[in-house]
Structures are given as C-alpha cells and as structure tokens.
Structure 1
Amino acid sequence: MVVDDQPLWRDAVERDLAQAGYSVVAVAANGREALARFPAARPDVVVLDLQIPAPDGVEVTGEIVRQDPSVRVLVLSASGEQGDVLAAVTAGATGYLVKSASREELLAAVRRVAQGDPVFTPGLAGLVLGEFQRRSETPLDPAEPALTDRETEVLRMVAKGMSYRQIAERLVLSHRTVQNHVQNTLRKLQMHNRVELTRYAIERGLDAD
C-alpha cells in the first residue's frame, strides 16, 4: 500500500513497485483514506509519507500497527529530522528512508522491511538507537523473562544489524527458525519489533564482541 499526498510521487512509487513484481493492493492520498482502505487491503508493507493531510503519517503508523502488528511500515519522507524519525519509529515504523533515496534503494528497503529487518537512510539508524539508549534510565528488572542461550545468541546478532538471512547462514539454521527465535524473544520481552529488540540488546551491551 502506498500513501502519499503528491500524485506524481505516489504514482512513481506505485509504478516502481509494480515493475519490480510487487502487488500494490491500495493507494491513498491522506491519512483518512489510508485508515479507511487498510482493513480491506491488508497489505504486508505500507510505504508511507509522514507529511500527509490529517491524520499524519505518525498517527496512521500507530493505528495500522495497532490493528495488525504484523504489518511493516516503511516511511518515505522528505524530512530527515531527528524528531520525525524518532516519532515514526516509536509509532511502530520498521524503516525510514528520505525521498532522496534512489529507486534501487527504495526497492531494497521494501524487500528487507518485508522480512522484518529495520532499514534506515545511512546515519539515521545510529541516531535512533543512540536516542533510545539515552532515554532508557530504567534499572534492569531481575524478574525479566529468561532467554535461552540460542535466543541470546540470535539477539546479539540482531543488535549488530545482521539480517535474518545472515544470522541463519552464520548459525547454520533455516530462515524460518531464526524468525521463530526472534518472535519468541519479542513475546517474552513484550516487545513489538526488531527496533525495540535492538535497543534492548544495546542497552545491555549485547552488541559488543
């Protein structure tokens, strides 16, 4: 599903996705249309501009992720401002690209986001994780659910930015098994996406060698 209030841009993104073999199940020009069409369209990935007529992209992201936690939201915005990026990720976006990204970068981002991998325009990932680290001043809870050794091992690799496929190859596991480990870890920690999981791992130093 493609959501953007600029017809030329929306049509171009839709065309690029269709040419790459993706099925565009819906388009919308504003937040109201996006929320109205989402339940029937049930897209796997939503490519969304933040600066759209109300409700804006952050509100739309939060609402569609609430309706369907499995949906992946890739923000495609003209803004690379820290506040916009953090608001989108906090609302549940899996990825964030600025509109200066090339067609190839967009298609690669859609492919990775569909797999559940967080994708950011270079420089933004560190900003997001750094900010979440600074925000977290909560002491560790000794009653936190225990992770298995394998789940911890997978979590370390997630924290280092490795994709599911790379983790599967490193541990000689199937892609599906790695996904299951991540889903189990998310459920145990009561988290919703890999960005939150990565933040958790970095806060605990699991990204260090």
Structure 2
Amino acid sequence: MKTLVIDVVLADDHPGMIVGITHELSVFGTIRVRGCAHNSTELIELLESTPCDVIVSDYAMPAGKYGDGIQLFEFIGRRFPHVRLVVLTMFDNAAILGALDDLGVHGIVSKSDAVSHVAPAIHVAYSGSTFRSPTVAAVLAGRAMPRNRDAGPVKLSPREAEVVRLFVSGMRIDEIAEQLKRSKKTISTQKSRAMAKLGLSRDTDLVRYALEQGWLASSRSTD
C-alpha cells in the first residue's frame, strides 16, 4: 500500500518561525516540506516550480510583489486552485479571522496557540475539510453571537478588513489602491463602509480600535 505523503510549502517572513514549524513537522512521516519562502514573491516562484498539496503561510509578510493577506490568498486561489491553504496569523480579532473564514481558507492557526496545531491543520486541509485552532474557533464563535440585545456582531467583508488593516499599518489610500490594484475611490468607499459598521467617524478612532483589537501590524518593511 502506498504511504500517504503530503507535500508542503512554508511561507513566513520570520526565519525562526520556519525553523520551528519545520522541526515540528519533521516527526510526521506523512508530511514532507518541499520548500520555504520569506515573502510573496518567493512563495509564488516556489509554487510555480515546486508542486505541493498544502501551503502553510503567514498572514502578514512585508515586501513581495504579490502583497500579503487576503490579496495574496485570493491570488493563490486563482493561480493554484487545487492547492489547500493553511494560514498562520498573529491577528486574533473577528474581522480578519472572519474574512479568512469567509474566503474559504481550509486551515487557520493562531500564533497564540501551540505550534502543534499546524500538523493536524495540514492533514485536515489536505482532506478538504476545515481546521480552526482553539483561539480562532473561539473568536469565530464569538463573532456569531450578538454583542447585545439591540445589535448584531460587526462583520466586515474580506476586502473591507484588508483595507482597514493596511490603512492602520500606515499606508495611504493611494498606496493601498496601488497594492490591491483597485481605484482610490473604491478603497475610500471600502474604508468608509468599514468605519460605519464599526461606528467610528475619525481615522484616529480607527487606529485606536485597531490597537485595542490587537491587529495593528505593518504590511511593509520598517527599517
């Protein structure tokens, strides 16, 4: 009988994270790491030359001509539709995790959870099912519950969440438009809609909200 081997590509801009995950996966005879990338450019080039079954990718990776986050994962879904995706993320807020969930990502693992969750996430994603690590599952469960009797939960669309993340990381509207390949008007509209859903009227309030939610992180290099 042929032994199951899942070919995996890893992507994370922190070398230490890749070393740790590679070590964790090395004990599994069913998982074979085929290559590693440190930004979206390296990841896409690797995928073009190295067939794999599952990608394990960080959500936020500075640099790289294909961006990161939702933009990158949508591109991967179009270019490599048969490859399963497991996303690692430091963002434990409902907007971003909900955007990944809505996008249909097979595996989502919070970096707040143990690295031991990565291997089962790979196995489950390979099978075509969905895996959510404990922190992610708890956040998504809370997202589905009303915050009070009068209002339902705030639910940003994947594109709105991505625009907000990039904006609060310090990018201007025109820079976001260029990176996401959308018009400045579209980006402004998506930002405004997100702020309206969150009940915020000023940019400073949006940044403060992002800090409180723990999802303020740059999507570009900070020398």
The TM-score, its normalising length taken from structure 2, stands at 0.53
Matched, 1:18 2:33: no
**Bigger share in helix:** 1
Match of residue 41, structure 1, among 46, 50, 64: 50
Q: Is the 8 A contact 1:65 1:92 kept in 2?
A: no
Give the corresponding residue for 2:113: 101
CA distance in 2, matches of 1:128, 1:25: 36
Q: Percent identity, aligned pairs only?
A: 24
Residue 99 of structure 2: SS of its match in structure 1?
helix
- Which residue of structure 2 lines up, in the alignment, with residue 4 of structure 1? 12
Cα separation, 1, equivalents of 2:82 and 2:122: 15
Choose the corresponding residue for 2:130, options 118, 123, 130.
118
Which structure 1 segments of 5+ residues have no match? 136-209
Given residue 10 of structure 1, which amino acid in structure 2 is its aligned partner?
A: I
What residue ranges of structure 2 are gaps of 5+ in the alignment? 1-8, 147-152, 156-223
Which amino acid counterpart does residue 68 of structure 1 have in structure 2?
Answer: F
Change (3 A) 1:127 1:60: farther
Matched to 1:7, the amino acid is P
Match of 1:161 in 2: none
1:88 deviation in Å? 2.4
Which amino acid counterpart does residue 40 of structure 1 have in structure 2? S
Give 3-state SS (helix, strand or coil) of 2:26's partner: helix
Change (3 A) 1:38 1:127: farther
- 1:36-80 CA-partner distances (Å, limit 9, x unpaired): 211222221111111101411322211111122221111111111
Per the alignment, residue 204 of structure 2 pairs with none
The one of 70, 74, 93 aligned to 2:86: 74
Where do 1:1-209 residues align within 5 Å? Answer: 1-21=9-29, 22-54=31-63, 55-122=67-134, 123-126=138-141
Aligned residues: 134
Change (3 A) 1:38 1:57: farther
Pick closer, same or farther for the CA change 1:78–1:134 going to 2, 3 Å.
Answer: closer
* TM-score, normalised via structure 1 length: 0.57
CA RMSD of superposed structures (Å): 2.4
